[in-house]
């Protein structure tokens, strides 16, 4: 089983409502099976461009949550902020390989 990362692309000139919604959703998802954590990201080149990056133990856990009864209601506060300029407002990636800084050694 490999970890999964999910990106939800957001856009908003005023990021305060996005940040507030992110915190409310994150609190409501505490204890969700398979959810390892999430981060709210902002582009340093375009402050209106944001994304939520969530990390899941595996695709099975993410799919179970996404198909579950609470998914749509719990994520509703961010729905109006999804980036409509993209073909899809989200992307799912499986981790194929990774390195930690302490595994890279010194150059």
Please state the domain extents for the chain.
4-95
pLDDT at 43 (0 to 100):
96
pLDDT at 100: 81
Sequence-ordered list of residues with C-beta below 8 angstroms from that of 92, at least 6 positions apart, any chain: 4, 5, 6, 7, 59, 62
- Predicted confidence at residue 103, as pLDDT, reads 76
Do the beta carbons of residue 11 and residue 84 sit within 8 Å? Answer: yes
**Is the pLDDT score of 101 beyond 90?**
no
Any idea which fold 4-95 has? Alpha-Beta Plaits (3.30.70)
Burial level of 52, CB count in 10 A (0-12/13-18/19+)? buried
Residue-wise pLDDT for 13-71, tens only, equals 999 999 999 999 999 999 999 999 999 999 999 999 999 999 999 999 999 999 998 88
Q: Give me the pLDDT at residue 98, please.
A: 87
Q: What is the pTM of this model?
A: 0.89
């Amino acid at each position: 089983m490999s970890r999964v990362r999910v990106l939800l692309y957001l856009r908003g000139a005023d990021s305060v409502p996005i940040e507030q919604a992110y915190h409310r959703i994150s609190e409501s998802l505490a204890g969700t099976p398979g959810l390892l954590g999430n981060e709210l990201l902002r582009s340093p080149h375009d402050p209106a461009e944001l994304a939520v990056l969530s990390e899941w133990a595996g695709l099975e856990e993410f799919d179970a949550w996404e198909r579950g009864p609470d998914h749509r209601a719990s994520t509703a506060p961010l729905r109006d902020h999804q980036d409509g300029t993209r073909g899809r407002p989200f992307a799912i990636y499986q981790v194929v390989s990774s390195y930690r800084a302490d595994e890279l050694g010194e150059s």
